[in-house]
Amino acid sequence: MQISRAKASLLGLALAASMGMGILVGFAMPDDDLFELRKSLRIFGAVYEKVVTGYVEPVDPGHLMRVGVDAMLGELDPYTSFIDESENARIDIITEGQYGGVGLKVGRRGGEITVVSPVSGASGYEQGVRTGDVITKVAGQPTATLSIEDVETLLRGEPGSTVHITVEREGASAPLTFTLTRERVELPAVTYRGRVGPENQFGYVKLERFTRDAPGAVESALKDLQKAASLRGVVLDLRDNPGGLLRAAVGITELFVPQGTVIVSTRGRRDSVDNAYRSERAPLLPDVPVVILVNGQSASASEIVAGAIQDHDRGIVMGTTTYGKGLVQNIRSLPHNTALKLTTAQYYTPSGRSIQSLGPVGRDTSAASTSRTHETDAGRTVRDGDGIRPDVRVPAPTPSALEKALTRRAAFFRYANHYAATHDTLTTDFSVTDADLTAFRDWLDQEGLQYPTRAERSLDSLQARIDAHGYDGAQDEAEALMGALRQARAAAFTRHAQDLKRHLEREILARYVKADRQVAALLPGDEQVTAATDLLQNSDRYDRLLTPTDER
Instruction: Please list the active-site residues.
Output: 300, 311, 325
For 316, 367, 376, the CA distances from 383, given in Å and listed in that order, are 15, 8, 10
Cα–Cα distance measured from residue 189 to residue 209, given in angstroms and rounded to the nearest whole number: 5
Transcribe 346-378 into DSSP letters.
EEE-TTS-B-S--SSPPTT-S--TT--EEE-TT
Helix, coil or strand: residue 47: helix
Query: Which residues are 112's β-sheet partners?
Result: 109
Q: Name which of 342, 330, 333, 328 is nearest 85 in CA terms.
A: 333
**221, amino acid identity:** A
| CB contact set of 281 (below 8 Å; sequence gap of 6+) | 254, 259
R_g (Cα) of the chain, nearest Å? 27
Q: How far apart are CA 463 and CA 104, in angstroms?
A: 44
Provide the 3-class DSSP secondary structure of residue 443: helix
* Distance between CA atoms of residues 375 and 366, nearest Å: 16
For residue 400, the 8-state DSSP code is P
- Using DSSP's 3-state secondary structure scheme, residue 204 falls into strand
Quote the DSSP letter at residue 551: G
Please, what is the angle between helix 497-509 and helix 475-495, to 10°?
70
Q: Which of 151, 153, 154, 113 is nearest to 132 (CA)?
A: 113
Query: Residue 311, SS3?
Result: helix
Question: 80: burial class by Cβ within 10 Å (0-12, 13-18, 19+)?
Answer: middle
From residue 407, how far is each of 186, 411, 503 by CA, in Å? 30, 6, 9
Burial 454-486 (b: 16+ CB within 10 A, else e): ebbeebeeebeebeeeeeeeeeeebeebbeebe
